[in-house]
Amino acid sequence: MPLPKRRHSKQRGRKRRTHYVATAPALVECLHCGEKKLFHHICPACGYYRG
């Protein structure tokens, strides 16, 4: 199996990883209580799930 001939620099590896970012979760309001919750999940405040 081939191996790299030269060591990759830190800059090269970091440039490749510039798009590895966490995205903020999409929150929606609960239809019953208006509390923020994750989409397609049970409401943590009132336990309501429309589905």
Domain locations in the chain as residue ranges: 25-51
Q: What is the 3-state secondary structure (H, E, C) of the chain?
A: CCCCCCCCCHHHHHHHHHHCCCCCCCEEECCCCCCEEECCCCCCCCCCCCC
Would you say residue 51 has pLDDT above 90? no
Q: Which two tokens stand for residue 2?
A: 């081939």
pTM, whole model, 2 decimals?
0.58
pLDDT at 5: 94
Select the more confidently predicted residue: 41 or 1: 41
Query: pLDDT, tens digit, for every residue of 15-46?
Result: 999 999 999 999 999 999 999 999 999 999 99
1 confidence band (pLDDT: 50, 70, 90): confident
